[in-house]
Every structure is written in C-alpha cells, then in structure tokens.
C-alpha cells in the first residue's frame, strides 16, 4: 500500500476533534466510564492472548500430517498473509473511525444487509472460538482428574469461570488477564517441548514431506489458519486504543511473537514425538507431564476465552447503546445489560462446545466458515474499496490489485473446500460424544 494511501499524521490531527464524535464511544472527556484508554502494547498483548492459546497446541499434528517442510512453509505463508491483511484492516479503520466491528464495515460496503450479515458472522465466529476454549477446558479437566466426573459438568464449570472473567466492561482491565494468559501458554508450551525431548525413546521417524489424502491435508491447513484468526477483533481493539495510528506496532508485536512460537513449538514437538503426535499436543506426553503441562495451561485456557468473549459481548453492547450515555454510566440498566449479554454469549458457546466435541474438527469448521473471510477475504475487499478507481494507476497499484484479488480467491477456496472436509469429519467423528459424559480426551 503506497504512502498516499495511509492516513498521514497531519490529516489525522486535523480531524481529531471530529474523530472523537465519530468513534463508537463518542467524546469521553467527561464520561464516567472511559473505553479509549489502551496503549499500543496493551492492544498487542490482547491480540497475542486472543491468538496464541488453543491454536498453538494443534500445530504439531498439522506438521505430522503435512511433513516438516510443507508445514513450515505454510505457517510462514499464512503469517505473511495475515500481517498484510491486518495492515489493510488498520488502514480501513483509520479511514473510517466510526467502525467498531465487522458489522459496521459491512454497512459501509453493502448497507443494512451488509451490517446484519457481517455483524452476525463476527458474533458467530467469536462464539465458536469461545466454544473451542470450553472444549479445551473439558479436555484439561478430564486429564487432570482422570475423568473424575461427567464431561458435561466440566463444561458448566468452564462456562461459569469464563462468564465471571468477562464481567469487566473495559479492555484495559482485560489487558492484565491477557498478560497472564500469554505467560501461561508460553510456559506450558516450553514445558511440553522439554518433556517431549526428555521422554523420547529410540529413533523417532520424522518426515520432511509426506503423502497425504486431500481431506487430511486440508484439515491440517485449516488448523494452521485457525492459529491466525485474530482479525475479527481488530476494529474493536483499535476503538479502545488511545491513538489508533499505533496499531501497526501492535500488529507487528503479534505477528512476530506468534509466528516464532508457532514454528519453534510445532517443529520441535513433532521432532521428538513423531507422526503419532496428538491434538492438542500435550496429550502426547506421559500422564504425569501431561498433567503438569495442563495445569500450567489452565490460565490461558480460561483467559484467552475471556478476551474473545469480551469482544463478542462488546459488539452486542455497543450495538444496543451506541450514541447513548448509558454506555458510559454505572447505572443498574448499564451494568445489568452487560451481565445479561455476557451470560447469554457464554451459554451459547457452551452449547456449541458440547455439540461438536472433537477438537480438530471444531477448529477446522471455524477456520473454513469464518476465518477465511474475516482474516483474508474481507481485508482484500476493504483494500479494493479504499482504492476504487486507482486499481491500475501505476505498476505498484496494479501489483497490489492483483495481490488482493488473489487473496480474495484464496479465501473463497478455503471457505468452500474447508466446509466440505470439516463437515465430513464432524459427521464421521463426533456423533458418539455429543452431549454425553464420555471422556473427550483423544
């Protein structure tokens, strides 16, 4: 994207007063509850906590399916693609400060229909991501307690804990939870890598490349895509940042941290566990080390879900009270509405988790149905919208136009093919464990 496409500092400052009223939370100078309080590193840590949690534990099994070389290339390719599309979202937000969600962006692109379509899609994606956290919590508790009680009970416990964690209304309070979440997943991942190396016995057959069927291969690709699904929350995060122009720093912080962690952990764990590595990878350790690693992962299992749930609840809350003083007050109606929204979001997430209790299948469905559009397809459309009439103005514009059209085509392919393979997998795998007390540990 060329320099003239970016929102310059001078232009941004000139419109600062107007921006305060255009942005979803309005002018907060005298507000009782203020939302735009985050620094860029707060935003970056929230994005890391949203991304680097459940997804990282599925990557070693993707390496086992695809082979070390194709999997590493795919991780780097999707990371680069995600960085570019994240940048496009940031530029779109600076051009249109009133945008708080994908629904707002949809209204700008397609009117009322676009608002409802993309708003519902964003809400469903976040609910499915929350469901994956509840599912991970079920697996964790089954391991730690040796399936000490009905899995449905563990799901309810996870639901209650996540609901309570999501009660703060502002992102700056959720930031501290995101720090704990990242430290938790980082330590758990390091312990898993070390334990995998220590416990390895004899020669482990590893493959640089593999021969794999289309269904299995594409499922593994969608699991990698799942590890880069933070885009859906970018508008909301930028809306609660003091200076939205600093978003590129937050984005760089996210992409560098998650890509390094994904590559190192996926390849090392596969190297020492081999083709039989399970998803999540912690399940491949000995019973004792598995319990230790799961214990360390408890905070990220809960808190990363809290971040996701907060974004989902905030979308509904802003939609209900936008332009009203109720959003900034501590009245019974304001607080009561927030609590009710949080409860509804987490109950629906729990229902989804119990209906699709196979971890890899749920990740694949999420990636295909939602991630393909919010992380890749829509950012390409945003770029095309911002550059109408300039697509072939010069060589650079022509190259970027072709690139964004290719990204849009990739999103369509991921969505269509991913729905086919994930739907088939869910049909074959999950029926026996849906809404049952059965142990969901693979």
Contact (CB, 8 A) for 379 and 231:
yes
Contact (CB, 8 A) for 12 and 245:
yes
**Token pair for 36:** 């735009």
Residues 245-267: pLDDT tens digits?
Answer: 999 999 999 999 999 999 999 99
Judge whether residue 242 has pLDDT over 70: yes
Residues 88-124: pLDDT tens digits?
Answer: 999 999 999 989 999 999 999 999 999 999 998 899 8
Q: What mean pLDDT is predicted for residues 425-438?
A: 66
Domains of the chain: 34-429 (1.20.1740.10)
Give the closest residue to 232 by CA, choosing from 100, 56, 341, 362: 100
d(CA 47, CA 159): 22
DSSP line for 128-166: HHHHHHHHHHHHHHHHHTTS-S-HHHHHHHHHHHHHHHT
d(CA 307, CA 342): 12
d(CA 353, CA 356): 5
Q: What mean pLDDT is predicted for residues 139-167?
A: 88
| pLDDT tier at 127, thresholds 50, 70, 90 | confident
Residue with tokens 């941004």: 12
Answer positive or negative: Cα dihedral of 28, 33, 39, 42.
negative
d(CA 243, CA 393): 31
Q: How many residues does the chain have?
A: 442
Q: What mean pLDDT is predicted for residues 30-53?
A: 85
Rounded-to-10 torsion of CA 175, 179, 184, 187: 160
In 10 A of CB 347, how many CB atoms?
12
Ranges 50-59, 288-297, 388-397: which has the least confidence: 50-59
């Amino acid at each position: 994207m060329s320099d003239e496409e970016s929102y310059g500092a001078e232009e941004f400052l000139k419109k600062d007063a107007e921006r305060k009223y255009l942005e979803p939370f309005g002018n907060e100078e005298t507000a009782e509850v203020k939302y735009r309080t985050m620094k860029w590193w707060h935003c970056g840590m929230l994005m890391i906590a949203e991304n680097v949690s459940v997804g990282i534990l599925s990557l070693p099994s993707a390496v086992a399916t695809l082979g070390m070389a194709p999997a590493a290339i795919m991780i780097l390719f999707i990371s680069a693609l995600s960085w570019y599309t994240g940048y496009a979202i940031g530029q779109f937000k600076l051009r249109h400060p009133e945008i708080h969600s994908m629904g707002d962006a949809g209204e700008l692109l397609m009117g009322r229909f676009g608002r409802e379509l993309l708003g519902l899609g964003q809400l469903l994606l976040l609910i499915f991501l929350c469901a994956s956290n509840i599912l991970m919590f079920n697996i964790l508790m089954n391991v730690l307690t040796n399936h000490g009680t009905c899995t449905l009970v563990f799901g309810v416990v996870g639901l209650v804990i996540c609901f309570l964690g999501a009660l703060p209304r502002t992102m700056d309070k959720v930031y501290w939870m995101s720090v704990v979440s990242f430290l938790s997943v980082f330590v758990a991942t390091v312990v898993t890598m070390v334990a995998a190396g220590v416990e390895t016995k004899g020669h482990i057959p590893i493959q640089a490349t593999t021969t794999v069927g289309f269904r299995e291969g594409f499922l593994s690709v969608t699991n990698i895509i799942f590890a880069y699904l933070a885009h859906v929350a970018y508008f909301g995060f930028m809306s609660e940042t003091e200076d939205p122009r600093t978003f590129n720093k937050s984005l760089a912080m996210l992409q560098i941290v998650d890509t390094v962690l994904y590559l190192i952990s996926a390849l090392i764990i596969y190297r020492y566990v081999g083709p039989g590595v399970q998803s999540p990878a912690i399940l491949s350790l000995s019973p004792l080390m598995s319990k230790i690693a799961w214990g360390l992962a408890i905070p990220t299992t809960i808190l990363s879900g809290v971040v996701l749930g907060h974004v989902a609840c905030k979308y509904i809350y802003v939609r209900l009270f936008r332009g009203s003083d109720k959003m900034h007050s501590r009245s019974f109606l304001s607080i009561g509405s927030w609590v009710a929204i949080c409860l509804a979001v987490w109950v629906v997430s729990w229902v989804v988790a119990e209906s699709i209790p196979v971890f890899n299948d749920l990740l694949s469905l999420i990636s295909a149905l939602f991630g393909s559009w919010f992380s890749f397809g829509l950012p390409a459309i945003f770029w095309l919208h911002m550059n109408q009439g300039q697509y072939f103005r010069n060589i650079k514009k022509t190259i970027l136009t072709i690139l964004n059209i290719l990204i849009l085509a990739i999103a369509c392919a991921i969505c269509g093919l991913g729905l086919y393979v994930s739907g088939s997998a869910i049909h074959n795998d999950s029926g026996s464990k849906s809404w049952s007390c059965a142990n969901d540990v693979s």
